[in-house]
């Protein structure tokens, strides 16, 4: 099914591109070198190539037909000390979508990014992406899906989506979805006072294959319902909240509910070129009942961003784990020269990551630095 989807969507892309009025080809080349000075000493060198082909056709009745086809080709070498190495290389679709939009609606099909919510560092609504605020390029895998949006004249909007044939975990997921069963959901956003408020729902069926729960469960999968409410308001400072409740009918534990809450604010101080500060508080709890006592973890985060001049920028992010009394520190200096961007990043984290469940998080555990060079054309 996966190969069939790719073939069909690629053919649609080529077909639409053949009669489009506007075609754009962009490419991004990324190279990086990471040093982790903790024990064991680790070094990672890698390169990534992201070519993108976009096309656009505007019809007389204000309909806009778009295609977006891009690849993610990368390879890296991870060295432990000086006696062992691991290599990893892959070429896969990054975006593969066909979209139709009008004055008050938008519809997309294919491999695309679906992201919503107001939080920026610790996001309860990180359901379908894995955007990391420490990543200056904001790269994230997409999901195979159909997405529809309708925009009302009072600035309210409603979303509907269906996901299918996604075998990898996404967002906060520990167990992957059953790729042969569709996932469905929707979202409605309404204007409220000086901002907006939204409600979101998603349903999926998950599986335990290849996870620790394989030996604990008496069946092959489970059902999951997600509910969320979030809002963002301008009250002299920017203020937002996100709250999500996830229920999984697991048969090997009584803790079938997950509660995720974020409260945050941002403000730009009139210092020099403008110092932007974002602060958030995040809690994650697993519990037997919706409102029952749970166990989990609490985080605080603060981000400072300051443009030194038109080509230089500095960003610092600090997370604090209230549960384990640990700090996560990150700093990024960036330079922009025409099509080139240079990033020098430093990190000082605990030896074990408790924030994200990303596969490559181990290289950023402990202390180290990363140098990244990107070329955009």
Task: Give 101's pLDDT tier (boundaries 50, 70, 90).
Answer: very high
Q: What percent of the chain has pLDDT over 70?
A: 90
The total of other beta-carbon atoms located within 10 Å of residue 338's CB is: 8
Could you tell me if residue 188 is inside a domain?
Answer: yes
Say whether both 90 and 190 belong to one domain: no
Helix (H, G, I), strand (E, B) or coil at 59: coil
Q: What percent of the chain has pLDDT over 90?
A: 75
Say whether both 228 and 332 belong to one domain: yes
Could you tell me if residue 106 is inside a domain?
Answer: no
Give the residue from 42, 35, 37 showing the smallest Cα distance to 81.
Answer: 42
Could you tell me if residue 234 is inside a domain?
Answer: yes
Say whether both 240 and 315 belong to one domain: yes
Global pTM exceeds 0.75: yes
Is the pLDDT at 162 greater than 70? The verdict is: yes
Task: Give 353's pLDDT tier (boundaries 50, 70, 90).
Answer: confident
Is the pLDDT at 361 greater than 60? The verdict is: no
Say whether both 140 and 68 belong to one domain: no
pLDDT at 357: 64
Mean pLDDT for the chain overall: 90
Could you tell me if residue 300 is inside a domain?
Answer: yes
pLDDT at 360: 60
Task: Give 333's pLDDT tier (boundaries 50, 70, 90).
Answer: very high
Is the pLDDT at 5 greater than 90? The verdict is: no
Say whether both 203 and 69 belong to one domain: no
Is the pLDDT at 181 greater than 90? The verdict is: yes
pLDDT at 210: 64
pLDDT at 41: 87
pLDDT at 355: 78
Could you tell me if residue 181 is inside a domain?
Answer: yes
Token representation of residue 360: 């490559």
Say whether both 147 and 50 belong to one domain: no
Evaluate whether 79 touches 363 at the Cβ level (below 8 Å): no
Average pLDDT of the residues in 351-355? 79
The total of other beta-carbon atoms located within 10 Å of residue 206's CB is: 24
Could you tell me if residue 104 is inside a domain?
Answer: no
pLDDT at 60: 76
Is the pLDDT at 362 greater than 70? The verdict is: no
Q: How many residues does the chain have?
A: 377
pLDDT at 62: 84
Residue 6 phi/psi, 5° resolution?
Answer: -60, -45
Structural element, H or E, at residue 328: strand 326-337
pLDDT at 253: 84
Lowest mean pLDDT among 52-61, 205-214, 332-341: 205-214
What does DSSP assign to residue 12?
Answer: H
Could you tell me if residue 28 is inside a domain?
Answer: yes
Average pLDDT of the residues in 110-131? 95
Is the pLDDT at 202 greater than 60? The verdict is: yes
Say whether both 149 and 90 belong to one domain: no
Say whether both 359 and 211 belong to one domain: yes
pLDDT at 4: 43
Average pLDDT of the residues in 81-103? 91
Number of domains in the chain: 2
- CA 178 to chain CA mean position, Å: 20
Task: Give 32's pLDDT tier (boundaries 50, 70, 90).
Answer: very high
Task: Kindly report the CATH number assigned to the domain that includes residue 304.
Answer: 2.40.160
pLDDT at 61: 75
Say whether both 190 and 86 belong to one domain: no
Q: What is the DSSP string of 253-269?
A: -S--EEEEEEEEEEEEE
Could you tell me if residue 101 is inside a domain?
Answer: no
pLDDT at 352: 81
Task: Give 213's pLDDT tier (boundaries 50, 70, 90).
Answer: low
- Structural domain including 85 reads 1-32+43-95
pLDDT at 80: 86
Say whether both 297 and 214 belong to one domain: yes
Token representation of residue 199: 């409600």
Say whether both 78 and 142 belong to one domain: no
Say whether both 50 and 124 belong to one domain: no
pLDDT at 363: 75
pLDDT in tens, 134-153: 999 999 999 999 999 999 99
CA 134/CA 38 separation, integer angstroms = 20
pLDDT at 82: 76
Is the pLDDT at 13 greater than 60? The verdict is: no
CA 178/CA 111 separation, integer angstroms = 17
């Amino acid at each position: 099914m996966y190969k069939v989807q790719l073939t069909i969507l690629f053919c649609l892309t080529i077909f639409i591109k053949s009669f489009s009025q506007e075609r754009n080809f962009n490419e991004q080349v990324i190279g990086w070198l990471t040093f982790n000075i903790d024990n064991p000493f680790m070094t990672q060198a890698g390169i990534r190539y992201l070519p993108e082909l976009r096309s656009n056709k505007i019809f007389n009745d204000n309909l806009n037909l778009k295609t977006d086809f891009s690849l993610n080709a990368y390879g890296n070498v991870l060295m432990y000390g000086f006696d062992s190495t691991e290599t990893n290389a892959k070429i896969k679709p990054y975006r593969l979508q066909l979209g139709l939009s009008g004055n008050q609606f938008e519809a997309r099909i294919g491999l695309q990014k679906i992201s919503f919510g107001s939080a920026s560092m610790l996001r309860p609504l990180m359901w379908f992406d894995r955007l990391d605020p420490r990543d200056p390029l904001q790269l994230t895998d997409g999901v195979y899906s159909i997405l529809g949006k309708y925009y009302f004249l009072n600035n309210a909007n409603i979303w509907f989506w269906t996901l299918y044939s996604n075998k990898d975990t996404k967002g906060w997921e520990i167990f992957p979805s059953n790729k042969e069963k569709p996932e469905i959901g929707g979202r409605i956003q309404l204007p409220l006072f000086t901002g907006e408020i939204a409600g979101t729902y998603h349903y999926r069926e998950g599986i335990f294959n290849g996870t620790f729960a394989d030996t604990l469960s008496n069946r092959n999968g489970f059902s999951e319902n997600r509910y969320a409410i979030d809002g963002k308001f301008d009250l002299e400072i920017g203020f937002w909240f996100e709250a999500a409740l996830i229920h999984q009918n697991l048969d090997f534990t009584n803790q079938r509910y997950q509660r995720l809450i974020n409260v945050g604010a941002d403000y730009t101080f009139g210092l020099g070129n403008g110092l932007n500060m974002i602060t958030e508080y995040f809690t994650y709890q697993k519990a037997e009942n919706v409102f029952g006592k749970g166990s989990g973890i609490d985080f605080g985060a603060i981000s400072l961003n300051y443009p030194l001049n038109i080509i230089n920028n500095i960003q610092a992010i600090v997370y604090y784990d209230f549960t384990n009394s640990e700090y996560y520190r990150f700093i990024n200096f960036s330079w922009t020269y025409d099509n080139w961007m240079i990033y020098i990043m430093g990190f000082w984290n605990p030896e074990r990551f408790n924030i994200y469940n990303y596969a490559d998080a181990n290289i950023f555990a402990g202390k180290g630095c990363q140098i990244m060079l990107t070329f955009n054309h």
